[in-house]
Amino acid sequence: MGVDAALHGAAAEAALHGALSLQPHVAGAFFALAACTVALAALLAVARTRPPWWCDCAVCEAYLTASWAGEFDNLCDWYAHLLRRSPSQTVHVHVLRNVLTANPVTVDHMLRARFDNYPKGKPFSAILADLLGRGIFNVDGDAWLFQRKLAAAELASPALRAFASGVVASELRGRLVPLLDSACSHDDDDDDDDGGKVLDLQDVFRRFAFDCICKISFGLDPGCLELSMPVSAFVDAFDTASMLSARRATAPLQIIWRLKRFFNVGDERKLRESVRLVDGFAAEVTRQRHKLGGAASGSDLLSRFMGSISDEKYLRDIVVSFMLAGRDTIASALTAFFLLLSDHPEVAAAIRDEVSRVAGDDDNGRPSFSKLKDMHYVHAALYESMRLFPPVQFDSKFAAGDDTLPDGTAVAKGTRVTYHAYAMGRMESVWGPDCSEFRPERWLRDGQFVPVSPYRYPVFQAGVRVCVGKDLALMEMKAVIVAVVRGFDIEAIDRSSRRPKFAPGLTATFAGGLPVRVRRRGRPASGHSPPT
Q: Which residues are annotated as a binding site for heme?
A: 467
Using DSSP's 3-state secondary structure scheme, residue 452 falls into coil
CB pairs under 8 A, 24+ apart, for 398-404? 398/118, 398/119, 398/120, 398/121, 398/122, 398/123, 398/124, 399/117, 399/118, 399/121, 400/116, 400/117, 400/118, 400/119, 400/121, 401/117, 403/114, 403/117
What's the one-letter identity of residue 269?
R
Pick from 149, 173, 238: nearest CA to 484: 173
Q: Binding-site residues, please?
A: 467
| First vs last C-alpha separation in the chain | 111
Cα dihedral sign for 306, 311, 316, 322?
negative
Helix (H) or strand (E) holding 513: none
- In the DSSP assignment, the letter for residue 413 is T
The C-alpha atoms of residue 195 and residue 139 are separated, in whole angstroms, by: 50
The C-alpha atoms of residue 17 and residue 11 are separated, in whole angstroms, by: 10
Cβ–Cβ under 8 Å, residues 494 and 68: no
Kind of pairing between the strands at 416-420 and 98-101: parallel
Phi-psi region of 266 (alpha: psi -120 to 50; beta: other; left: phi over 0): left
The C-alpha atoms of residue 87 and residue 76 are separated, in whole angstroms, by: 19
Q: Kindly provide the b/e burial profile for residues 184-217, where b requires at least 16 CB atoms within 10 angstroms of the residue's own CB.
A: bebeeeeeeeeebbebbbbbbbbbbbbbbbbbbb
Q: How many CB atoms lie within 10 A of CB 518?
A: 24
User: Residue 530 burial by CB count (10 A; 0-12/13-18/19+): exposed, middle or buried?
Assistant: buried
What's the one-letter identity of residue 345?
P
Helix pair angle (376-388, 329-343), 10° resolution: 100
The C-alpha atoms of residue 211 and residue 167 are separated, in whole angstroms, by: 9
